[in-house]
Amino acid sequence: MKIDRILVIGACGQIGTELTVALREKYGRYNVIAADKKITADILLDVMDHEELSNVVRECSVTQIYHLAAMLSANGEQNADAAWKLNVGGLLNVLKVAKERKLDKVFWPSSIAVFGLGSPKYNCPQNTRIEPNTVYGISKRAGEYWCNYYYEKYGVDVRSLRFPGLISYTALPGGGTTDYAVDIFHQALEKQYYTCFLSEDNCLPMMYMPDAIRATLELMDTPKEKISIRTSYNLAGMSFAPCDLAAEIEKYIPDFKISYEPDYRNAIANSWPASIKDDNARKDWGWEPAYNLESMTSDMLEKLSIMKGMPVLLSSGNSQEEFQPLAHETLHSLLGTANSLREVTKTHVINE
């Protein structure tokens, strides 16, 4: 029986940290190789080095690659050349190796950043006018076409999701335009105050990381013949503006206050849709998000309070009760693995 061997490139990043844990639970600890340029990974790997990547795939008998290494939207605007080289060049190296080594599957994340001002603002469909106006969005749109090309021309089974903004309690903000939705929780618990770099009514599609990880695993488990989108699937979770999230946090932390000082990231966010239509994902592989704004906020505050050793006031209707952090073996196991992957000196290259 063939053994699946998974290579996760960018395993120390926002998605990679939690996806690596989930893949090890599914395939076994030693069948999932965490690769990154950071010293806490299983192996040090620069995805820009085609020969090095090919050698790792051969020597480790890799059958699938999850390629997550990228420079995100906000950082990409400050380092345009580097963002383009990493985001497109890295993907091309992965696709070439997948073709040469005849890999079973490849996963690569795209983003709502592929959409632009010409795209529908609400319920943005799978196929529509797409005119990205950031380096990140342009690189992701180009990557979608490369994925489709390698499938059509060489039969490489590469699959992709257009992720909305992702929210995680295990990963700190990493240079994205939607990072406020992570940082706000840390600041709310520690300082009861947050200054947001987006305007209060700038509504964006968002997703809680457990849903994003589940969507990835479900997509990769779907029979090949059911995959109808070979660029990248639209994927929806929830949509909210900073004022909506602040109001939800205030239910748990009544003293929490927020102010708004929009910067260049606000213009980036304004160019993206406020909500996404994901009919193809629901039809092809039964996608359904599990979290909404209310359940995500409650879970984030609970998990972060455990991490920080802080009690937090949890709201139940108009009454409030104090939640005392308890020992949760599963959570601490996840956090321990995540921290071991991520605890390194920050660089300008951010992994998804």
Name the one residue in this structure whose structure tokens are 């529509």. Answer: 128
How is the chain split among helix, strand and coil, in percent rounded to 5? 45, 20, 40
Q: CB–CB of 65/107 below 8 Å?
A: yes
Task: Count the Cβ atoms, other than its own, within 10 Å of residue 123.
Answer: 14
8 A C-beta contact, residue 196 and residue 150 = no
42 backbone dihedrals φ, ψ, rounded to 5°: -60, -45
What letter would DSSP give residue 89? I
Tokens for 352, please give them: 């998804």
**DSSP code for 1:** -
* Fold that domain 6-342 belongs to in CATH: Rossmann fold (3.40.50)
Active-site entry in 136, 194, 208, 252: 136
Decide if 136 is catalytic.
yes
323-to-227, 228, 242, 298, 305 alpha-carbon distances in Å: 44, 45, 25, 11, 9
CA separation for the pair 133, 30 (Å, rounded): 41
- Tens of pLDDT, residue by residue, the chain (352 residues): 789 999 999 999 989 999 999 999 999 999 999 999 988 899 999 999 999 999 999 999 999 999 999 987 778 788 899 999 999 999 999 999 999 999 999 999 999 999 999 999 999 999 999 999 999 999 999 999 999 999 999 999 999 999 999 999 997 777 788 999 999 999 999 999 999 999 999 999 999 999 999 999 999 999 999 999 999 999 999 999 999 999 999 999 999 999 999 999 999 999 999 999 999 999 999 999 999 999 999 999 999 999 999 886 556 454 444 444 433 444 444 555 555 544 433 333 334 5
Yes or no: say if 165 and 205 are a contact pair by the CB < 8 Å rule. yes
The span from the CA of 288 to the CA of 216, in Å, is 12
How far apart CA 259 and CA 243 sit, in angstroms, is 10
User: Is residue 146 within 8 Å of residue 91, measured between CB atoms?
Assistant: yes
| Alpha-carbon span 41 to 32, nearest angstrom | 11
